[in-house]
Amino acid sequence: MKVRVWDLPLRLFHWALAVCVTVSVVTGLIGGNAMQYHYWSGYCLIALLVFRLGWGVVGSRHARFASFVYGPRAIARYVRGDDPRPPHLRLGHNPLGSLSVIALLLVVTLQVVSGLFANDEIFNQGPLASTVSSRTSALFTFYHTTIGQPLIYVLVGLHVAAIAFYAVVKHQNLVRPMLTGDIDTVAGAPAARDTWGLRLLALLLLAAGGVLAWWISTLGSVGSY
Ligand code: HEM
């Protein structure tokens, strides 16, 4: 039987995140005039991450952080293949996958925050770069370009490789549920709530993130000095 596992806001968040991270990487590599789009996708990422943070608390069952933050023992058991949970309770992120989800959310957040304070001493600076000393801004820039950027490549690479591994080796299609929201499982599996009321709440969270991003953008100038 089909059970809703990912609510609509979470699915829209996921694909918007993938698009914005891709746009940010490509425009950052191109540089020059493309940096305007780099800033815009960064502001969109702020709105998305604020939404996700809130959704991790008030979102539907499998989107909540509490449902997918596992301890080392649960992760080790999962890796050994003796997950004690009955199959109908194994919905949502699995104990190992949850590590990559948390790492991705954390690293994208660090990348956005460091970008706000970064500057390349030639043409580009984040909106908050002038609020800190040039040494601090240089540290943020170092993180943004030398640590965070390759870290995102590695984590996204691992993420997509893991999805491909599940498809090819375990014959488990994880992408379809992230598109349709539903998973085929046994009776008795707890479904995620995906009501219009909850979707409205998601929109409010996203709007709050949008206001924060807009406010940050007014705090300093971006682009060429
Ligand atoms: C071709 C590209 C991608 C595909 C096919 C894909 C697929 C998926 C799938 C199937 C899941 C659910 C995993 C599960 O069942 O536990 C997922 C989750 C996730 N993906 Fe992707 N993904 C892609 C790109 C990205 C990118 C570029 C990012 C950005 C950093 C990203 C970040 C995430 C995050 C944070 C989650 C957890 C969703 C949440 O609970 O917030 N993904 N992805």
**Is 95 a pocket residue for ligand 1 (Cβ < 6 Å)?**
no
The angle that helices 95-117 and 8-30 make with each other, rounded to 10 degrees, is 50
**Is 107 a pocket residue for ligand 1 (Cβ < 6 Å)?**
no
Residues 92, 162: Cα–Cα separation, whole Å: 15
Residues 76, 157: Cα–Cα separation, whole Å: 23
Neighbours of 72 (CB within 10 A): 8
pLDDT-based confidence at residue 222 (cuts at 50, 70, 90): confident
Q: What is the structure's pLDDT at 85? A: 85
Question: Is 196 in contact with 16 (CB distance < 8 Å)?
Answer: no
Centre of ligand 1 to C-alpha 72, Å, is 22
Instruction: Name the residue with the closest Cα to ligand 1, atom 31.
Output: 18
Question: Is 33 in contact with 183 (CB distance < 8 Å)?
Answer: no
Residue 197 has pLDDT above 90, yes or no: yes
Ligand 1 atom showing the smallest separation from residue 68 Cα? 40
The DSSP bridge partners found for residue 4 are 182
Residue 224 has pLDDT above 70, yes or no: no
Centre of ligand 1 to C-alpha 170, Å, is 18
CATH code of the domain occupying 2-218:
1.20.950.20
Q: Give the pLDDT confidence of 113-159 residue by residue, as tens digits.
A: 999 999 988 788 999 999 999 999 999 999 999 999 999 999 999 99
Residue 223 has pLDDT above 80, yes or no: no
**Is 48 a pocket residue for ligand 1 (Cβ < 6 Å)?**
no
DSSP tag of 192: P
Q: Rounded mean pLDDT of 9-22?
A: 98
Centre of ligand 1 to C-alpha 85, Å, is 24
**Is 90 a pocket residue for ligand 1 (Cβ < 6 Å)?**
no
Q: Which of 123, 116, 154, 157 is nearest to 137 (CA)?
A: 116
Q: Rounded mean pLDDT of 22-44?
A: 97
Q: Which of 100, 109, 123 is nearest to 30 (CA)?
A: 123
Three-class SS of residue 93? Answer: coil
Q: Give the pLDDT confidence of 182-193 residue by residue, as tens digits.
A: 999 888 889 999
Q: Give the pLDDT confidence of 91-100 residue by residue, as tens digits.
A: 999 999 999 9
Residue 225 has pLDDT above 70, yes or no: no
Residues 40, 184: Cα–Cα separation, whole Å: 38
Residue 25 sits at the vertex; the CA angle it makes with 21 and 28, to the nearest 5 degrees, is 135
Ligand 1 atom showing the smallest separation from residue 94 Cα? 16
Which residue ranges make up each domain of the chain? 2-218
Q: What is the structure's pLDDT at 221? A: 73
* Signed CA dihedral, 25, 69, 181, 167: sign only: positive
Q: Give the pLDDT confidence of 36-89 residue by residue, as tens digits.
A: 999 999 999 999 999 999 999 999 999 999 999 999 999 999 999 888 888 778
Question: Is 78 in contact with 95 (CB distance < 8 Å)?
Answer: yes
Residues 147, 107: Cα–Cα separation, whole Å: 10
**Is 164 a pocket residue for ligand 1 (Cβ < 6 Å)?**
no
